[in-house]
Chain A
Amino acid sequence: MLKIINFSKSYKGNKKAVDNLNIEVESGDIYGFIGHNGAGKTTTMRAVAGALDFEEGEIKINNVSIKDNPVLYKSMLAYIPDNPDIYDYLTGIQYLNFIGDIFKINKDEREKLIKKYADLFEITANLGDLISSYSHGMKQKLTVISALIHKPKLLIMDEPFVGLDPKASHTFKTIMNEMCENGSAIFFSTHVLDVAEKLCNKVAIIRNGKLIASGDINNVIGNKSLEDVFLELIENEK
């Protein structure tokens, strides 16, 4: 599904934020991406989502390269950033309809899915209000709904649970599992290692832009907890 091949990204000053990263996310995977602050997670997420340009390496979804065919590539994914900065001059429903138009979702399907997810996240009554009036959590819910209504093959998320209330988090985790059962894949970064351990079947650990462990979660952690393994790996790499 998603292939990140030899991906490197340098910012001004030539320090590599991400150095030669290789990750493969397969259909049905819930893939956790773990690292300390400034490790290169958001850089990677933004590059995969198409929000960040890069020179070195290649990123593909179902063999479609982001560089060769960005429109087709992006039509297969949904991105939820760490901060839900969305058009706050639109109402919730206007924003969802805008996303529906861009992803060319047919009218009936659009109405059905918006209703389904807005009800699940208990935000239907607020859809007529301006996004500027929403709380952080409500914006996050709206971003999640906008990502789900076009049934993406790949869901990219940067710290998706920040701002969601416990019920919404639970609902979202259920939806994530359903999506993967239906053949989609999820690649997300998180600092909440308990969540990653319970939810993911695969993890990748990044430190200072370099991948230090990756693969099936059981192979990575063995009998230990993900937190212990993470801390050990980070210590050993110092």
Chain B
Amino acid sequence: MKNNLILLLKIQILYLFGINKAIKTNDKKEKLKLWSLIILFVFSGIMLLGVSFMYSYNMSTAFEMFGMMELLPVIMMVATCLTTIFTTIYKASGILFGFKDYDLLMALPVKTSEIIGSRIIMINIINIFFTLIIMIPAGIVYSIKVSPEFSFYVFYIITLFFIPLVPIILASIIGYIISFISSKFKHTNIVNLILSMALIIGIMVMSYYSNSVEFDLINIKSIVMTKLKLYYPLAIFYHDAVINYNIISLLLFVIISAGIFILFVLIIAHKFKSINSSLASSNINSNYKLGELKKSSQFISLYKKEMKRYFSSTLYVLNTAFGVIFMTFISIGILVYGIDKMGSLLEIPNLNDMINKFAPIVLSVFIVMSCTSCCSISLEGKNVWLPRTLPINVLKIFLSKIAVNLTVLIPPIIINSIFLSSILSFNIVETFFMFIVPINYAFFISISGLVINLKLPNLQWVSEVTVIKQSASVLVTMIVGLLSIAIPIVLILKLPEINANLLIICTTFVIALINLILYKYLSTVGVKIFNKL
């Protein structure tokens, strides 16, 4: 008889990225689509490995200069932990608490700790992906430069699987605290959103203050180790294990990580039902009195509904508004500290040069990172029968979804463009570009996101995390968006003899033309696809 934990885990793995669908489907077209996506995921992974290798290599060159190569693994380990916390904090509570198959699982004859254990291991499996992407290139760079003993490889590989455990638990606790506090308020989602934003801004501010400490280059090693000892003592065991091949430190690292994991599972198992009940309970007044109702046009009514959908999910807002929030954060930073200081704070060495050369495109980078429409069809989920049976033109449904994306993007574009144009004393033409280019990109990402989601829908989701953060349409839209930005940037850099403004004008025309073509596609083929969903 198979272990329940493994059975529960298997169910989740089969669901992840539609793996089971890819294997079991008889529809050749569907099979091809799913396998193409899996190849795309693998390809993206390889690309990220390459970028990570370059990053580690560059860092190792600097470390080598000051004789601090031994810091590379531990610094990358800390980077992995921070990435894990950031990527887990908002999805952990969705995977651990309030998941859709909660009733089904809780009615099965399995231990609560097995359910929780399987779900945390699942989060760990997802995070191992990030761990490998950061740690494998770092390990390769370290072994090239230092040629360590055989024990390094053994210790390094063993620790890989334990690195994300404690950050996951930490992220789950923070995520749970945010969800718990929010659930006590009437406007749960707004409170959740405010707390989450406050956390992100808090981390950014903290990182600013820790960066502002002037490092003494000679003593940097001891400063880093002292800070690690203070903030994350496990990193010291890790460092001692992989660098000094200390087996006691290795055991301590593994046992403490696994111990915290087991302790967390046992504590949560004890309170699992009450936590889920408290998170699932909502404010019920049952004292509504019918009053005057407001009448709206079909489009406005659809738009209002879409806006409510958008703000009903903290994860949706955070994942899609992060780009514009970050953009505004940078603009305010430039206003307060100036470009150079902001550049050094963000560790972007040529920020001044970049902004002066192609400010509208730089602004647009954040726009293409903020797409709400690329998962808006998938988020209809089981409700999709509703818009499909309503007597409305399908194009109106599409437009309402695009309108939400534009509502999220255009006001920040206007504010940031005014900010940056006045700070950087742009002339009238440059100021015009500052508005028109990002707005054009806003239309592009909103329309193309919707088209991509229509081509790659996922209506059978169990947790909205899978649609908002892990779906194929979100990944493809992100790649398309970044390519649309990368191409003009490369052209401007590679063709210095051509006026940069001219290239920006050409880009704007091409993007506008693509927008028109995609809109036409939406109104014809898109409608047909929607009707077949």
Q: Which A residues are closer than 8 A to B by beta carbons?
A: 12-13, 46, 49-51, 53, 70-75, 77, 79, 81, 83, 85-87, 89-90, 92-94, 97-104, 106-107, 110-111, 114-115, 118, 124-130, 132-133
Contact = CB atoms under 8 A, between A and B. Distances in A.
Interface of B: 26-27, 30, 282-290, 292-298, 300-302, 304-305, 308-309, 312-313, 381-386, 388-393, 531-532
Contacts of B382: 83, 85
A27 B385 CA distance: 25
B26 to A, nearest CB: 6
A12 B290 contact: no
A107 B26 contact: no
Contacts of A70: 391, 531
Contacts, number: 117
Given A51-B388, A53-B532, A85-B383, A90 B290 contact: no
A129 B388 CA distance: 25
A86 B386 contact: yes
**4 cross-chain pairs, A with B, having the tightest CB-CB distances, nearest first:** A128-B288, A101-B301, A89-B312, A75-B391
A127 B288 contact: yes
A89 B391 CA distance: 22
A85 B100 CA distance: 13
A208 to B, nearest CB: 21
23 contacts: A12-B30, A51-B389, A70-B391, A73-B391, A74-B390, A74-B392, A77-B389, A87-B305, A87-B308, A93-B290, A94-B308, A97-B301, A101-B295, A101-B296, A104-B298, A110-B295, A118-B290, A124-B290, A127-B288, A128-B287, A129-B285, A133-B283, A133-B284
Contacts of B30: 12
A106 B296 CA distance: 10
A102 B294 CA distance: 13
B391 A115 contact: no
A166 to B, nearest CB: 21
B416 to A, nearest CB: 30
Nearest to A130: B282
Please report whether the interface of chain B is mostly helix, strand, loop or mixed according to DSSP: loop
Nearest to B392: A102
A74 B392 CA distance: 8
B292 A111 contact: yes
Given A98-B305, A102-B390, A81 B288 contact: no
B385 A81 contact: yes
Given A51-B385, A71-B393, A74-B389, A114 B293 contact: yes
B389 A102 contact: no
B285 A128 contact: yes
A73 B389 CA distance: 10
A87 B391 CA distance: 17
A155 B284 CA distance: 31
A135 to B, nearest CB: 11
B393 A126 contact: no
B312 A97 contact: no
B235 to A, nearest CB: 41
A115 B288 CA distance: 12
B153 to A, nearest CB: 48
Contacts of B282: 129-130, 132-133
A75 B391 CA distance: 5
Nearest to A99: B390
A85 B381 CA distance: 9
B389 A49 contact: yes
B391 A72 contact: yes
A194 B63 CA distance: 82
Given A104-B298, A111-B293, A114-B290, A90 B305 contact: yes
Given A87-B386, A126-B286, A100 B295 contact: yes
Contacts of B388: 50-51
Contact of A79 (B295, B389, B531, B532): B389
Contacts of B391: 70-75, 102-103
Nearest to B298: A102
A101 B300 contact: yes
Contacts of A107: 292-293, 295
A111 B290 contact: yes
